[in-house]
Amino acid sequence: MSKIAAIKPFGQSIWLDNLSRGLIASGELAKILKEDAIAGVTSNPAIFYKSISSDPLYTGDLAELKKQDLTAEQRYEALVVPDIQATCDLTRSIYDETKGVDGYVSLEVSPTLANDAQGTIDNAKRLWAEINRPNVMIKVPATPAGVIAFEELITSGINVNVTLMFNLVHVDNILTAYIRGLEARAAAGLPVNHVHAVASVFLSRVDSLIDPQLEAIGTPEALALRGKVALSFVKVSYQHYKKLFHGNRFAALKALGAHPQRLLWASTGTKNKAYSDVMYVEQLIGPETVNTVPDATLALFRDHGQAANTLDTNIDAAIANMVAVRQLGINYNLAGEQLQQEGLKQFDEAFVKLLELTK
C-alpha cells in the first residue's frame, strides 16, 4: 500500500489539488486515483493558468475558440468545462462506491464575483447545469457575499466547496449556513440526502503571516509558537465541527439522511523550509475530513510520510496555543480577514492572467 493510500483507513480523504488536460489524457490521473486512493480533484484559477499556458493539448482548441465571437471568459470556460466533465466521469466510480461522500471535482466561480452574492449564485447555477454531473462541486469564497450565496446554493441542491477560510468566524459562518440551507430544503419537502459540501480551511498562509509577528515579539513564549498556529487553529476548528454535526443542532437533518459539511485542509504545501515538508498532511489526519494536496507534497508524503490519527490529539495544547497567540496581542480573527483578502487578490490576479491567454 502506498503511504498516501494508508491515510484512508483513518477516515480522511485525500484529493489532488491539480488538474490539466495532459494529466487526464496521459492516464496519470487515473493511475494516482487508483494507486494512492486519491478520492477527488480540486482546481482554481492559478492551476488552470498554469495548465493552459503550458499544456500543448489546449493549443488547438484555444486557436479555434479565438476564431469565434466569444468573450475571454467564455473561451476559458469552453476549455475547462470539458476537463471538469472528463474528470467527473473518471471519479464517478468513487462517487458511486462511497455513496456520494467522495469522487468530487471542484470548479471555481469567477473570482470577480467574490463580493456579489447574486452574481455568485447565478454563475454557480449556470456552471452546475452546464457541467451536468452529480459529482461536481462549485467553489465559492467564504466572503460575506459568499456565505449568502452558499446558503442559497445548498437550498437549491447544488454541491459546494467553500474556499478561503482562515479563522473561526469563517468556519462557524459557513457551517451554520450549510445547516440553514439544508433546513430550508427540508422545510420545502425536498430531499437533503444527496447534497454535499466541504469547507476549505487554508493552512500554510497562516503560518507565513503569523510567524514573522511572533519573531518580532521575540519572547521565548512567542518563538515557541512558530509553525504551530495553523495546526492549532485547524484542531480547534475540528472540535467545532464535531460539536455542531454530532450534536443536537444537526440531529433532525441527520435523521433525514443529511451529511455533515466536512472540513477540508487546503494550502498544505509547506512554505517554510525549517518545518517538515509534510507537516500539513501528517499532523492533521482524522475522520470525516479531506486534505487537498498538490503534486509536490503528495510526492513527498509518498516518499516519507507517516499515516496516523493525529487530528484529535493534543487538543488542550492547541487551545492553549490559540489563547497564547491572543495574549501576545495578535488578533487572529483580523489576521484571518487579511489572509482572505490576500487570497481573493491572488485568485483575481491569476484569473486576469488566465483571461489574457484566452483573449
Instruction: Choose the catalytic residue: 3, 139, 228, 235.
Output: 139
Amino acid at 293: V
Nearest CA to 205 out of 132, 127, 265 is that of 265
Dihedral of alpha carbons 309, 313, 315, 321, sign: negative
Whether the CB-CB separation of 9 and 315 falls below 8 Å is answered with no
3-state secondary structure at position 151? helix
Dihedral of alpha carbons 234, 138, 89, 20, sign: negative
Q: Report the C-alpha gap between 184 and 180 in whole angstroms.
A: 6
Question: Which phi and psi (to 5°) does residue 109 adopt?
Answer: -65, 165
Provide the angle, in degrees to the nearest 10, between the axes of the packed helices 315-327 and 332-357: 90
Amino acid at 248: N
Question: Which phi and psi (to 5°) does residue 316 adopt?
Answer: -60, -40
Whether the CB-CB separation of 283 and 229 falls below 8 Å is answered with no
Q: What contacts 222, CB < 8 A, 6 or more positions away? A: 214, 215, 328
Q: How many CB atoms lie within 10 A of CB 220?
A: 6
Grid cell at residue 159: 454541491
CA 269 to chain centroid: 13
* DSSP state string for 86-98: HHHHHHHHHHHHT
Which residues, in sequence order, are bridge partners of residue 138? 107, 160
Q: Is 235 a catalytic residue?
A: no
Whether the CB-CB separation of 195 and 182 falls below 8 Å is answered with yes
Q: Report the C-alpha gap between 198 and 117 in whole angstroms.
A: 19
Q: Which secondary structure element, helix H or strand E, spans residue 291, and what is its range?
A: strand 289-293
List, by residue number, the catalytic residues.
139
